[in-house]
């Protein structure tokens, strides 16, 4: 019987189909654009952004909510995209990613400040750092460097560019951020 009993392929395919989660429709508003697509219910917002919407600026670092590389804004609040499902209670709220910061007249002022203050080295954590900083600034202007450090504590920079990050945020905190 070398290749298996007749009909065994159909049985195996049926079992595989049952093991795969059924896809559902999800509608997300990302960077001002309404996007609708099909995903499994277990897909995180991070994977939906990267794999289904091809928005790869949001980085997958630890995939456990410990590094902050996947920080995006959902409804104006900072969230770790690796910890929430794309099909969630946040569906319907606007999502902002690093790609959404692009402007016709150039880069976002905070991106320019990161460059000016040498707040990046390898750059892997930078999108999450910038999105978290925008959220922090929108929450209220940090009173001092310690408040900036505390507000950014969930974002890890393995290269150690923390002083530049604080300086970049401080440099625009007086004027606010859009």
Burial class (CB in 10 A: 0-12, 13-18, 19+), 97: buried
Using 50, 70 and 90 to split pLDDT, how confident is the model at 115?
Answer: very high
Using 50, 70 and 90 to split pLDDT, how confident is the model at 105?
Answer: confident
The string of pLDDT tens digits covering residues 35-72 is: 999 999 999 999 999 999 999 999 999 999 999 999 99
Q: Among 99, 123, 141, give the residue marking a domain's end.
A: 99
- Does the structure show a pLDDT above 60 at 1? no
Q: Among 55, 79, 99, give the residue marking a domain's end.
A: 99
Mean pLDDT, rounded, for 147-176: 92
pLDDT reported for residue 13: 61
Query: Do 28 and 95 fall within a single domain?
Result: yes
For residue 58, give the CATH number of its domain.
Answer: 3.10.20.30
Query: Do 47 and 84 fall within a single domain?
Result: yes
The string of pLDDT tens digits covering residues 123-144 is: 999 999 999 999 999 998 888 9
Query: Do 26 and 95 fall within a single domain?
Result: yes
CA separation for the pair 136, 172 (Å, rounded):
12
Q: How many domains does the chain have?
A: 2
Query: Do 27 and 81 fall within a single domain?
Result: yes
- Give the lowest-confidence range in 13-22, 87-96, 99-108, 119-128: 13-22
For residue 160, give the CATH number of its domain.
Answer: 1.10.150.120
**pTM summary value:** 0.85
Mean pLDDT, rounded, for 15-41: 86
- Does the structure show a pLDDT above 60 at 4? no
| Proportion of the chain above pLDDT 90, given as a percent | 76
Query: Do 51 and 79 fall within a single domain?
Result: yes
pLDDT reported for residue 153: 95
Domain with 73 in it: 22-99
Query: Do 90 and 114 fall within a single domain?
Result: no
Q: Among 67, 99, 131, give the residue marking a domain's end.
A: 99
**Is residue 87, in this structure, part of any structural domain at all?**
yes
**Is residue 5, in this structure, part of any structural domain at all?**
no
pLDDT reported for residue 113: 96
């Amino acid at each position: 019987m070398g290749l298996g009993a007749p009909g065994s392929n159909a049985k195996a395919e049926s079992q595989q189909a049952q093991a795969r989660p059924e896809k559902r429709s999800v509608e997300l508003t990302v960077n001002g654009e309404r996007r609708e697509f099909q995903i499994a219910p277990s897909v995180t917002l991070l994977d939906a952004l990267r794999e289904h919407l091809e928005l790869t600026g949001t980085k997958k670092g630890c995939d456990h909510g410990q590094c902050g590389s996947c920080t995006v804004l959902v409804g104006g609040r900072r969230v770790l995209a690796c910890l929430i499902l794309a099909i969630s209670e946040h569906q319907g709220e606007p999502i902002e990613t690093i790609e959404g910061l692009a402007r016709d007249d150039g880069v976002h002022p905070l991106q320019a400040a990161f460059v000016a203050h040498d707040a990046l080295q390898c750059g892997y954590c930078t999108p999450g750092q910038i999105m978290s900083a925008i959220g922090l600034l929108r929450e209220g202007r940090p009173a001092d460097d310690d408040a900036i450090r505390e507000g950014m504590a969930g974002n890890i920079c393995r290269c150690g560019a923390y002083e530049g990050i604080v300086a970049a945020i401080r440099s625009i905190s007086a004027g606010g951020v859009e």
